[in-house]
Chain A
Amino acid sequence: MTNDHFEIAGVKYSSRLLVGTGKYTDLDQTREATEASAAEIVTVSIRRTNIGQDPDQPNLLDVINPEKYTILPNTAGCYDVQSAVRTCQLARELLNGRKLVKLEVLGDDKTLFPAMPETLEAAEILIKDNFDVMVYCSDDPILAKRLEEMGCVAVMPLAAPIGSGLGIRNPYNIRTIVENANVPILVDAGVGTASDAAIAMELGCDGVLMNTAIAEANDPVLMASAMRKGIEAGREAFLAGRMPRRQFASASSPLDGRFF
Protein backbone atom coordinates (compact mmCIF):
# COMPACT_ATOMS: atom_id res chain seq x y z
CA MET A 1 0.00 0.00 0.00
CA THR A 2 3.04 2.26 0.10
CA ASN A 3 2.45 3.41 -3.47
CA ASP A 4 -1.20 4.18 -2.93
CA HIS A 5 -1.50 7.93 -3.15
CA PHE A 6 -3.81 10.52 -4.62
CA GLU A 7 -3.12 13.88 -6.09
CA ILE A 8 -4.60 17.31 -5.54
CA ALA A 9 -3.47 20.23 -7.68
CA GLY A 10 -0.35 18.34 -8.73
CA VAL A 11 0.73 17.36 -5.21
CA LYS A 12 0.75 13.72 -4.14
CA TYR A 13 -0.63 12.74 -0.75
CA SER A 14 -0.47 9.33 0.89
CA SER A 15 -2.77 10.12 3.82
CA ARG A 16 -6.41 10.06 2.82
CA LEU A 17 -7.54 11.56 6.08
CA LEU A 18 -7.82 15.34 6.09
CA VAL A 19 -8.51 17.00 9.41
CA GLY A 20 -9.80 20.28 10.74
CA THR A 21 -8.40 22.15 13.72
CA GLY A 22 -11.57 23.52 15.34
CA LYS A 23 -13.25 22.64 18.64
CA TYR A 24 -10.15 21.37 20.45
CA THR A 25 -9.55 22.19 24.12
CA ASP A 26 -6.22 23.84 23.39
CA LEU A 27 -3.40 23.94 20.88
CA ASP A 28 -1.55 21.04 22.52
CA GLN A 29 -4.56 18.82 21.95
CA THR A 30 -4.84 20.12 18.39
CA ARG A 31 -1.23 19.20 17.72
CA GLU A 32 -1.45 15.75 19.35
CA ALA A 33 -4.66 14.80 17.55
CA THR A 34 -3.35 16.06 14.22
CA GLU A 35 -0.17 14.04 14.64
CA ALA A 36 -2.15 10.93 15.64
CA SER A 37 -4.34 11.31 12.53
CA ALA A 38 -1.24 11.30 10.28
CA ALA A 39 -3.08 13.82 8.11
CA GLU A 40 -1.06 15.75 5.56
CA ILE A 41 -3.75 18.31 4.72
CA VAL A 42 -5.10 20.36 7.61
CA THR A 43 -7.86 22.95 7.46
CA VAL A 44 -7.84 26.28 9.26
CA SER A 45 -10.22 29.20 9.29
CA ILE A 46 -9.46 32.88 8.83
CA ARG A 47 -10.67 35.27 11.50
CA ARG A 48 -9.88 38.64 13.03
CA THR A 49 -6.76 38.86 15.15
CA ASN A 50 -7.38 39.65 18.81
CA ILE A 51 -5.93 43.12 19.24
CA GLY A 52 -4.28 43.45 22.61
CA GLN A 53 -3.68 39.73 23.00
CA ASP A 54 -0.27 38.76 24.33
CA PRO A 55 1.84 38.33 21.17
CA ASP A 56 3.76 35.53 22.88
CA GLN A 57 0.61 33.39 22.99
CA PRO A 58 1.14 30.44 20.64
CA ASN A 59 -0.49 30.72 17.26
CA LEU A 60 -2.20 27.84 15.46
CA LEU A 61 0.39 27.94 12.68
CA ASP A 62 3.14 27.54 15.29
CA VAL A 63 1.80 24.09 16.19
CA ILE A 64 0.49 23.18 12.71
CA ASN A 65 3.60 24.10 10.79
CA PRO A 66 2.94 25.10 7.17
CA GLU A 67 6.34 23.64 6.25
CA LYS A 68 5.16 20.23 7.44
CA TYR A 69 1.46 20.27 6.57
CA THR A 70 -0.51 21.48 3.57
CA ILE A 71 -2.62 24.21 5.14
CA LEU A 72 -6.11 24.33 3.70
CA PRO A 73 -7.83 27.60 4.62
CA ASN A 74 -11.61 27.37 4.58
CA THR A 75 -14.40 29.86 4.04
CA ALA A 76 -16.46 28.58 6.96
CA GLY A 77 -19.05 31.05 8.13
CA CYS A 78 -19.47 32.62 4.69
CA TYR A 79 -23.06 32.86 3.49
CA ASP A 80 -22.42 34.88 0.34
CA VAL A 81 -20.09 34.88 -2.65
CA GLN A 82 -18.25 38.08 -1.79
CA SER A 83 -17.22 37.10 1.74
CA ALA A 84 -16.07 33.68 0.55
CA VAL A 85 -13.91 35.17 -2.21
CA ARG A 86 -12.48 37.81 0.11
CA THR A 87 -11.66 35.17 2.73
CA CYS A 88 -9.74 33.15 0.13
CA GLN A 89 -7.81 36.21 -0.99
CA LEU A 90 -6.85 37.05 2.59
CA ALA A 91 -5.85 33.43 3.16
CA ARG A 92 -3.58 33.51 0.10
CA GLU A 93 -1.92 36.64 1.43
CA LEU A 94 -1.59 35.07 4.89
CA LEU A 95 -0.02 31.90 3.50
CA ASN A 96 2.50 33.65 1.26
CA GLY A 97 0.69 33.08 -2.00
CA ARG A 98 -0.35 29.46 -1.55
CA LYS A 99 -3.49 29.09 -3.57
CA LEU A 100 -5.18 25.93 -2.28
CA VAL A 101 -8.49 26.74 -0.59
CA LYS A 102 -11.55 24.97 0.71
CA LEU A 103 -14.60 26.79 -0.58
CA GLU A 104 -17.81 26.54 1.34
CA VAL A 105 -20.72 28.91 0.96
CA LEU A 106 -23.39 28.05 3.46
CA GLY A 107 -27.13 28.20 3.01
CA ASP A 108 -28.46 28.41 6.55
CA ASP A 109 -27.13 28.05 10.05
CA LYS A 110 -29.41 25.20 11.08
CA THR A 111 -28.25 22.67 8.52
CA LEU A 112 -25.02 24.33 7.30
CA PHE A 113 -25.92 22.83 3.95
CA PRO A 114 -24.07 24.45 1.08
CA ALA A 115 -25.81 27.17 -0.92
CA MET A 116 -25.05 25.65 -4.31
CA PRO A 117 -25.87 28.57 -6.65
CA GLU A 118 -23.51 30.80 -4.64
CA THR A 119 -20.94 28.00 -4.38
CA LEU A 120 -20.83 27.67 -8.18
CA GLU A 121 -20.52 31.43 -8.60
CA ALA A 122 -17.73 31.74 -6.03
CA ALA A 123 -15.89 28.74 -7.50
CA GLU A 124 -15.91 30.37 -10.93
CA ILE A 125 -14.49 33.64 -9.58
CA LEU A 126 -11.80 31.87 -7.55
CA ILE A 127 -10.72 29.61 -10.41
CA LYS A 128 -10.38 32.65 -12.68
CA ASP A 129 -8.30 34.25 -9.94
CA ASN A 130 -5.94 31.25 -10.15
CA PHE A 131 -6.98 29.52 -6.91
CA ASP A 132 -6.94 25.75 -6.55
CA VAL A 133 -10.44 25.16 -5.26
CA MET A 134 -11.49 22.19 -3.16
CA VAL A 135 -15.22 22.60 -2.92
CA TYR A 136 -17.70 21.58 -0.23
CA CYS A 137 -20.95 20.70 -1.94
CA SER A 138 -24.22 18.85 -1.73
CA ASP A 139 -24.25 15.16 -2.66
CA ASP A 140 -25.85 15.89 -6.03
CA PRO A 141 -24.00 14.01 -8.81
CA ILE A 142 -24.91 16.58 -11.45
CA LEU A 143 -23.60 19.52 -9.45
CA ALA A 144 -20.52 17.57 -8.43
CA LYS A 145 -19.73 16.95 -12.10
CA ARG A 146 -20.38 20.59 -12.93
CA LEU A 147 -17.87 21.68 -10.28
CA GLU A 148 -15.28 19.30 -11.70
CA GLU A 149 -15.85 20.61 -15.23
CA MET A 150 -15.43 24.19 -14.00
CA GLY A 151 -11.94 23.28 -12.80
CA CYS A 152 -12.26 22.54 -9.09
CA VAL A 153 -9.27 20.42 -8.02
CA ALA A 154 -11.32 18.29 -5.63
CA VAL A 155 -15.05 17.88 -5.06
CA MET A 156 -16.18 17.32 -1.49
CA PRO A 157 -19.79 16.27 -0.99
CA LEU A 158 -21.13 16.18 2.52
CA ALA A 159 -22.02 12.83 4.08
CA ALA A 160 -24.37 14.51 6.56
CA PRO A 161 -24.60 18.02 8.03
CA ILE A 162 -21.38 19.53 9.37
CA GLY A 163 -20.79 18.48 12.96
CA SER A 164 -23.79 16.12 13.01
CA GLY A 165 -21.89 12.84 13.18
CA LEU A 166 -24.76 11.10 11.40
CA GLY A 167 -22.54 9.16 9.00
CA ILE A 168 -23.01 8.50 5.29
CA ARG A 169 -26.66 9.32 4.76
CA ASN A 170 -26.72 8.80 1.02
CA PRO A 171 -24.17 6.19 -0.01
CA TYR A 172 -25.76 5.73 -3.43
CA ASN A 173 -25.23 9.36 -4.36
CA ILE A 174 -21.67 9.34 -3.05
CA ARG A 175 -20.93 6.24 -5.12
CA THR A 176 -22.45 7.80 -8.22
CA ILE A 177 -20.37 10.95 -7.72
CA VAL A 178 -17.22 8.82 -7.34
CA GLU A 179 -17.98 6.75 -10.44
CA ASN A 180 -18.49 9.87 -12.56
CA ALA A 181 -15.43 11.74 -11.35
CA ASN A 182 -12.03 12.50 -12.81
CA VAL A 183 -10.88 14.57 -9.82
CA PRO A 184 -10.53 13.42 -6.21
CA ILE A 185 -13.83 13.03 -4.38
CA LEU A 186 -13.57 13.54 -0.64
CA VAL A 187 -16.39 13.20 1.83
CA ASP A 188 -16.43 16.42 3.79
CA ALA A 189 -18.53 16.59 6.92
CA GLY A 190 -20.92 14.29 8.69
CA VAL A 191 -18.85 11.28 9.72
CA GLY A 192 -19.14 10.35 13.39
CA THR A 193 -16.85 7.44 14.00
CA ALA A 194 -14.24 5.23 12.36
CA SER A 195 -16.73 2.91 10.67
CA ASP A 196 -18.32 5.92 8.92
CA ALA A 197 -14.92 6.86 7.55
CA ALA A 198 -14.36 3.27 6.43
CA ILE A 199 -17.72 3.23 4.63
CA ALA A 200 -16.82 6.42 2.75
CA MET A 201 -13.57 4.83 1.63
CA GLU A 202 -15.28 1.55 0.69
CA LEU A 203 -17.54 3.57 -1.60
CA GLY A 204 -14.39 4.57 -3.47
CA CYS A 205 -13.86 8.07 -2.13
CA ASP A 206 -10.31 9.36 -2.37
CA GLY A 207 -10.38 10.66 1.17
CA VAL A 208 -12.41 12.06 4.03
CA LEU A 209 -12.21 15.47 5.66
CA MET A 210 -13.40 15.65 9.26
CA ASN A 211 -13.13 17.76 12.37
CA THR A 212 -15.90 17.31 14.95
CA ALA A 213 -15.80 13.50 14.94
CA ILE A 214 -12.26 13.70 16.29
CA ALA A 215 -12.39 16.90 18.34
CA GLU A 216 -15.61 16.02 20.17
CA ALA A 217 -14.66 12.43 20.97
CA ASN A 218 -14.02 11.76 24.66
CA ASP A 219 -10.41 11.08 23.73
CA PRO A 220 -9.66 13.05 20.57
CA VAL A 221 -6.13 11.75 20.17
CA LEU A 222 -7.28 8.13 20.32
CA MET A 223 -10.14 8.87 17.91
CA ALA A 224 -7.69 10.50 15.50
CA SER A 225 -5.75 7.25 15.48
CA ALA A 226 -8.97 5.24 15.04
CA MET A 227 -9.95 7.42 12.09
CA ARG A 228 -6.57 6.92 10.46
CA LYS A 229 -7.05 3.15 10.71
CA GLY A 230 -10.69 3.36 9.57
CA ILE A 231 -9.63 5.28 6.48
CA GLU A 232 -6.83 2.82 5.73
CA ALA A 233 -9.06 -0.21 6.30
CA GLY A 234 -11.80 1.21 4.09
CA ARG A 235 -9.33 2.06 1.36
CA GLU A 236 -7.79 -1.41 1.38
CA ALA A 237 -11.25 -3.00 1.38
CA PHE A 238 -12.22 -0.89 -1.63
CA LEU A 239 -9.08 -1.90 -3.51
CA ALA A 240 -9.49 -5.54 -2.50
CA GLY A 241 -13.08 -5.64 -3.80
CA ARG A 242 -15.72 -6.99 -1.48
CA MET A 243 -17.44 -10.35 -1.93
CA PRO A 244 -20.90 -10.41 -3.47
CA ARG A 245 -23.88 -10.28 -1.15
CA ARG A 246 -25.99 -13.46 -1.14
CA GLN A 247 -29.42 -14.02 0.27
CA PHE A 248 -28.52 -17.39 1.82
CA ALA A 249 -25.55 -19.15 3.34
CA SER A 250 -22.53 -20.46 1.52
CA ALA A 251 -20.57 -22.98 3.64
CA SER A 252 -16.95 -22.08 4.28
CA SER A 253 -15.90 -25.67 5.07
CA PRO A 254 -15.94 -28.26 2.26
CA LEU A 255 -18.71 -30.86 2.20
CA ASP A 256 -16.40 -33.52 0.70
CA GLY A 257 -14.49 -35.78 3.09
CA ARG A 258 -16.99 -35.72 5.85
CA PHE A 259 -16.73 -38.82 8.08
CA PHE A 260 -20.19 -38.46 9.62
Chain B
Amino acid sequence: MSIEITVNGNPHTIPKNSSLTELLELLGVEGRLAVDINGEIIPKSTHSDQLIADSDRIEIVHAIGGG
Protein backbone atom coordinates (compact mmCIF):
# COMPACT_ATOMS: atom_id res chain seq x y z
CA MET B 1 0.00 0.00 0.00
CA SER B 2 1.20 3.49 -0.74
CA ILE B 3 0.07 7.00 0.07
CA GLU B 4 0.18 10.32 -1.76
CA ILE B 5 1.88 13.21 -0.05
CA THR B 6 3.21 16.64 -0.98
CA VAL B 7 6.83 17.48 -0.20
CA ASN B 8 8.03 21.02 -0.78
CA GLY B 9 5.13 21.59 -3.13
CA ASN B 10 5.66 18.46 -5.24
CA PRO B 11 3.63 15.21 -5.19
CA HIS B 12 5.33 12.05 -3.93
CA THR B 13 4.12 8.49 -3.51
CA ILE B 14 5.60 6.65 -0.55
CA PRO B 15 4.89 3.37 1.30
CA LYS B 16 2.17 3.50 3.93
CA ASN B 17 3.32 3.61 7.58
CA SER B 18 6.60 5.33 6.72
CA SER B 19 8.13 7.36 9.50
CA LEU B 20 9.52 10.84 8.88
CA THR B 21 13.03 9.45 9.30
CA GLU B 22 12.29 6.87 6.60
CA LEU B 23 10.84 9.54 4.34
CA LEU B 24 13.97 11.68 4.65
CA GLU B 25 16.13 8.65 3.79
CA LEU B 26 13.88 7.85 0.85
CA LEU B 27 14.21 11.41 -0.45
CA GLY B 28 17.96 11.40 0.12
CA VAL B 29 17.95 14.55 2.25
CA GLU B 30 20.16 14.81 5.29
CA GLY B 31 22.14 17.29 7.33
CA ARG B 32 20.88 20.43 9.04
CA LEU B 33 17.21 20.75 8.22
CA ALA B 34 13.84 21.39 9.79
CA VAL B 35 10.53 19.79 8.93
CA ASP B 36 6.94 20.82 9.31
CA ILE B 37 3.95 18.67 8.50
CA ASN B 38 0.68 20.45 7.76
CA GLY B 39 2.10 23.58 9.34
CA GLU B 40 3.26 21.92 12.54
CA ILE B 41 6.97 21.73 13.30
CA ILE B 42 8.24 18.22 13.98
CA PRO B 43 11.22 18.28 16.36
CA LYS B 44 14.24 16.22 15.33
CA SER B 45 13.89 14.09 18.44
CA THR B 46 10.51 12.80 17.23
CA HIS B 47 11.29 12.21 13.54
CA SER B 48 11.50 8.45 13.98
CA ASP B 49 8.15 8.31 15.81
CA GLN B 50 6.34 10.57 13.37
CA LEU B 51 4.27 8.53 10.89
CA ILE B 52 3.45 10.10 7.55
CA ALA B 53 -0.26 10.07 6.68
CA ASP B 54 -2.00 10.22 3.31
CA SER B 55 -2.31 13.79 1.95
CA ASP B 56 0.23 15.18 4.40
CA ARG B 57 1.81 18.41 3.25
CA ILE B 58 5.44 18.38 4.27
CA GLU B 59 7.97 21.18 4.15
CA ILE B 60 11.66 20.41 4.51
CA VAL B 61 13.79 23.53 4.88
CA HIS B 62 17.43 24.42 5.36
CA ALA B 63 19.61 27.51 5.61
CA ILE B 64 20.81 29.18 2.44
CA GLY B 65 22.50 32.47 1.67
CA GLY B 66 20.51 35.56 2.55
CA GLY B 67 20.89 39.00 4.03
Residues of A within 8 A of B (CB): 19-24, 30, 43-49, 51-52, 55, 59-61, 71, 73-74, 76, 86, 89-91, 93-95, 162, 189, 209-212, 215
Could you say which residues of chain B place their CB within 8 Å of the CB of A59? Answer: 31-32, 62-63
Using A48-B8, A48-B9 as known contacts, say yes or no to A94 and B33 having CB atoms under 8 A apart: yes
Contact of A76 with B66 in the complex, beta carbons under 8 Å: yes
8 Å CB contact of B65 from A22, A95, A210: A22
- Total residue contacts A-B, CB cutoff 8 A: 107
B36: nearest chain-A partner, CB-CB: A90
| Complex Cα gap A157–B65 (Å) | 21
Could you say which residues of chain A place their CB within 8 Å of the CB of B39? Answer: 86
Q: What is the 8 Å Cβ interface bit string for chain B, positions 32-67, against chain A (1 contact, 0 not)?
A: 111110010101100000000000000111111111
A19: nearest chain-B partner, CB-CB: B67
The 10 closest A-B pairs by CB, nearest first: A20-B67, A45-B66, A211-B67, A94-B34, A21-B65, A93-B34, A44-B63, A22-B65, A48-B8, A22-B66
Could you say which residues of chain A place their CB within 8 Å of the CB of B65? Answer: 20-24, 30, 44-45, 60
Main secondary structure of the interface of A (DSSP, over half): mixed
CB distance from B64 to the nearest CB of A (A): 5
Other A-B pairs beyond A61-B32, A93-B44, A94-B34, 15, CB < 8 Å: A22-B67, A30-B65, A45-B67, A46-B34, A47-B64, A48-B61, A51-B27, A55-B31, A61-B31, A61-B63, A94-B32, A95-B32, A162-B67, A189-B67, A210-B67
8 Å CB contact of A45 from B29, B30, B63: B63
Contact of B63 with A73 in the complex, beta carbons under 8 Å: yes
A21: nearest chain-B partner, CB-CB: B65
